[in-house]
Structures are given as structure tokens and as C-alpha cells.
Amino acid sequence: MKARVLAGLLAGAAVLAQDPGPVPAQQRGYGPGCYEFAGEEPGRHAGTGEKLAQGLNERGVPTEAVVIIISTLPIVELRGAVPVGINLFGMRWWKAVLLSVVGNMLPIFLVLLLLDRAVRWLGHIRLFRRFFDWLFARTRRKSGLIERYEFLGLVLFVAIPLPVTGAWTGSVAAVIMGVPYWRAMLAILLGVCIAGAVVTILSLLGVWGAVIAGTALAAVLANAVISGIRKRRRDRRQA
């Protein structure tokens, strides 16, 4: 559990450790209303969420709508939308969080409601059947926390901002495990709100967010190495 929490801090900080203080991008060659990170170097690598946000904003999409759109996407979700709102567009933190939570939850209503039906309708098609088999197998491997702690496990699974967790994966896991619709919705909403708090704190920390990320990475790697060594020793003793 501790390793998962530390890894969550790492994943959140991976897209957050940017210098705050956005400046108008008209000075940098972007379209009206677009922003860049203050002090950004010309060759700085931008994350997926940031690139998409810049592209949408350059095409005239309002910044609020950009944050909502990004937060609806799998993998990116709230963890990518909050730093875009705060660090890229210069929004107040509460506004970025509110828009990101709304956007992150929008597709979850449909996933929880329609996934079972989609499997029944499309499962007889080989391509879709293989995709659903892969999706369910992958989700089951990652959902041990939910199986162990049920409602609280689903909350924590969504709250830990890792690439393999989040509202999308949590909703699929809830469907697989037969969690009632509104119970799953409440658990996922609580998890998204907790993830929003974690990502916001790291986003506002700036350089210190990177320090936390490095510390979390070291702890996670050390835990993984120690666990691997212990497992090999147990296997040798049982052999």
C-alpha cells in the first residue's frame, strides 16, 4: 500500500514539476489566448496532455473547455488536466480542479452504464472480443486492491494517480466485479477528488514536486528490488 501511494506521488509529479507563472504565448509565437510555462526553454519536452492542450487552444478552444476535454481522456485524466490548468493556463487551482473533476467523471457515467451492453453487442466480433479479453485481463491484474478492500479499495485505486489506475480503469474494474452502479459512482468520485488534491499539491510545489517525485521513485524502486529478492529466496526454499 505504501509503495502504491509513493508511486502515485511520483506519477502525479512527473507531469507537474514545472516552473509556475504562465505568460501569454503571443510573445512566444502561439495563437491568441494560449499560454506557456514561464521560463520554458525552446527545446523543453512537453507531455501528452500539454501538447494536446496547446494544440486545442491554438485552434480557438477556450481554456476551460480544453481542461475538461483533456480530463475526459484515458490515461491523461485529471492527473494531466490539473497541471495544464494551473501551470499552462494560469488558472486558479480550485477552478482547474473543479473543471478536471467534472471532465474526468463525464465518461464514467457511460462506462459504468454501457460497458456490459457493449461487451454483449460486440463480443461476437473477433476483434472486439480480443480487445475486451485483453482489457478485462489487464484490469483484473491491477485490481487486487479493490478485491481486498471493496468500496474503500475502489476509492484508493482511483485516488492513486498512476498510469495503470484512475477513473477509467476503476470503472472497468467495478463493472467486472459487479459493483452496483451508484456505489461505484460514489467510490470513483471520491477517488477522483482525492487524486485532485494530491496532483494540485504537487503542481503548486513546483521544484519541490520534483524532489518528492525523485524520493518517491527511489522508494518505489527500492521496494520493488527488495520484494523481488525476497520472492526469489522464498522460491528457492520451496524448490
Domain boundaries defined on the chain:
2-238
Q: Is the pTM of this model over 0.75?
A: no
Residue with cell 523481488: 228
Q: How far is 224 from 15, CA to CA, in rounded Å?
A: 23
Q: Please say whether the beta carbons of 57 and 66 come within 8 A.
A: yes
Give the model confidence (pLDDT) of 37-82 as tens digits.
333 444 344 567 788 888 888 899 999 999 999 999 988 899 889 9
DSSP H/E element including 23 = strand 23-24
Give the model confidence (pLDDT) of 186-209 as tens digits.
999 999 999 999 888 888 876 666
Per-residue cell: 225: 528490488
Residue with cell 505568460: 23
Q: How far is 118 from 109, CA to CA, in rounded Å?
A: 14
Selection from 186, 165, 184 nearest residue 78 by Cα = 165
Give the count of beta carbons closer than 10 Å to the beta carbon of residue 142. 16
Residue type at 134 in one-letter notation: W
Per-residue cell: 51: 501538447
